[in-house]
Amino acid sequence: MLLLLSACTVQNIYPTTTIIYDVGSPDTETVPGDNTDTGDENLDAGAPNTTVDNGNLAVDVFGTDGNEYWLSVGSDQLADANLNWQNSWAYGGYYYSIGDSDTYANDLVVVDVTSGDAASFGKVQFSVVGQSTGATWDANSIPDISVDTDEYQDDLTVNGVEHLRFNNGQVSSIFRESIALEVFRNWGYPAPRTSFAWLSSNVWGEGVHVPYTVVERYRDQWCTDHADQLGGGCANAWEGWGDFSKNYGWGYSIAEQCEGKTCGNTRMDEFVDLLDVTPMGDGFEAATADYLDWPMIQEHMCADWILWIGDDPFHNSNNLYVVQGLDDKFRFLPYSTDISGGQTWYQNTSLYPGTSQIAMGCAYDAACWEETINTCQVMIDEFQAMQPANIVTNTYERLAAQGMLRDGDDATYAELLDWYTTRSTEGTLESELDTYREAWTVGGCADTGMVVMGGGGFDTGNPCAIVDTGIGNDTAAPPADDTATADTGA
């Protein structure tokens, strides 16, 4: 439930999204603020008193829970940020292009929970972000927020961290994203770090502290830290929805969503052209091997199946984050993993793909699909060995230690503990994997299930359900006899 500041009444929102008043926040004195509606702005309401210069603040952004971040936002900037979010909520805009925003906070103050020190960072860029989890920001709402510290001050960072993404934990709870990303990292797959922190602002007024998940951004420093897994580093990146080719993924190409102030599409355009003339079937993996890091893609497909991450590139042509390594190969990175672990939107996520040209190409290629099955078996063994139920419990205990548990979190914890315990029990995933061992056959219509746009909720896939795009070997409902042939588009 969400407590209203002004009327002191209760409004039903999501059960794990509660504004918390003077509970569990760092023990730091604040500048007195006036929450009454006088018509005048108090940009300092609730600001922590600073104790050190920002260059001397040794805060561990992702290694410690309970740090506090305070933003001073003027009403004009808040209105612009909300308008940007409203105009771009449906597929794109600032949800995917954080660097394009020109809205700013007058000040960012960070409190290090370990030392108690606080420092001002001055003017920083901020955006109201998020899609289905998002909200406009006012005194009673809890939006997703992104901050870039060096947009107005060159090389300014919070102890080495430039980009801060504050996720509000709506829809899927405060647990799921952090847990899923930790599982990815335990597999050795490159994924962001997370922590739990308090966010405060004059927008909410003095004495209001909101628990958030702080998620590491895919930016230069992250690419440097994971260069050995990314072909030497990141040359270019694309973030958004759709697929490589416009012939798939809702008719929208990821090539149109290149990130950063400088971004090159040359290699991407070459690859899209290749895909448009490459038929699905045996040899698809070999034909695309110069452009794709297939072992990583197969690992990602297995991970999303194991964790039920269905609102993804492989099942729903959504939440794509594609990087081009310095070796000129493309890789998918985990993004929006809060829809996972039994969240109601995408349950029973299939290993067979739903809408992805790349994943379908592998499913039609017997050699590629055999490699995928073998990869999944290795990852099942690793998943069981890491005892993910312990990750769930540790996450709960971290939140409890900071006083960040909210209405509904105990029930959500119990659900997640049961889900991860069952999912990692020996035999559960092994028996499910057996149902996916057969690769798809071009022109063969064994009715093993159904593939639909949206992807979630089906245990198996049916190649006959793929929409006919007129290219490759993806035909709709070909004849079921052994002599059936598919249109290759040649």
Residues 91 and 146 in one domain: yes
Q: Is residue 140 part of a domain?
A: yes
Q: Is residue 415 part of a domain?
A: no
**pLDDT(426) > 80:** yes
Q: Is residue 11 part of a domain?
A: yes
Total Cβ atoms within 10 A of residue 483 = 6
Residues 246 and 165 in one domain: no
Predicted confidence at residue 444, as pLDDT, reads 47
Q: Is residue 489 part of a domain?
A: no
Residues 212 and 286 in one domain: no
Predicted confidence at residue 407, as pLDDT, reads 84
**What's the pLDDT tens digit per position in 64-83?**
999 999 999 999 999 999 98
Q: Is residue 453 part of a domain?
A: yes
CA 488 – CA 490 distance, rounded (Å): 5
Q: Is 470 exposed, middle or buried (0-12, 13-18, 19+ CB in 10 A)?
A: exposed
Predicted confidence at residue 114, as pLDDT, reads 97
Q: Is residue 411 part of a domain?
A: no
Place of tokens 């029973």: 348
Say which range, 11-25, 150-164, 325-339, has the weakest mean pLDDT.
11-25
Say which range, 47-51, 353-357, 378-382, has the weakest mean pLDDT.
353-357
Residues 358 and 257 in one domain: yes
Residues 208 and 325 in one domain: no
Task: Give the range of the structural domain holding residue 327, as residue numbers without chain letter.
Answer: 227-385+430-465
Out of 217, 240, 260, pick the residue that ends a domain. 217
Instruction: Identify the CA nearest to 26 among candidates 72, 56, 84, 65.
Output: 65
Residues 248 and 196 in one domain: no
Residues 299 and 175 in one domain: no
Instruction: Identify the CA nearest to 205 among candidates 260, 137, 152, 262.
Output: 137
Q: Is residue 23 part of a domain?
A: yes
Predicted confidence at residue 18, as pLDDT, reads 55
How large is the average pLDDT for residues 152-181?
93
Do 332 and 325 touch, CB atoms closer than 8 A? no
Residues 280 and 167 in one domain: no
Total Cβ atoms within 10 A of residue 186 = 16
Instruction: Identify the CA nearest to 220 among candidates 235, 204, 209.
Output: 235
Residues 89 and 210 in one domain: yes
Residues 200 and 56 in one domain: yes
The total of structural domains in the chain comes to 2
Beta bridge partners of 321: 239
CA 43 – CA 78 distance, rounded (Å): 12
Is the four-CA dihedral 154, 158, 161, 164 of positive or negative sign? negative
As separate numbers, helices (DSSP H) first and strands (DSSP E) second, the chain gives 11, 15
CA 117 – CA 391 distance, rounded (Å): 30
Q: Is residue 376 part of a domain?
A: yes
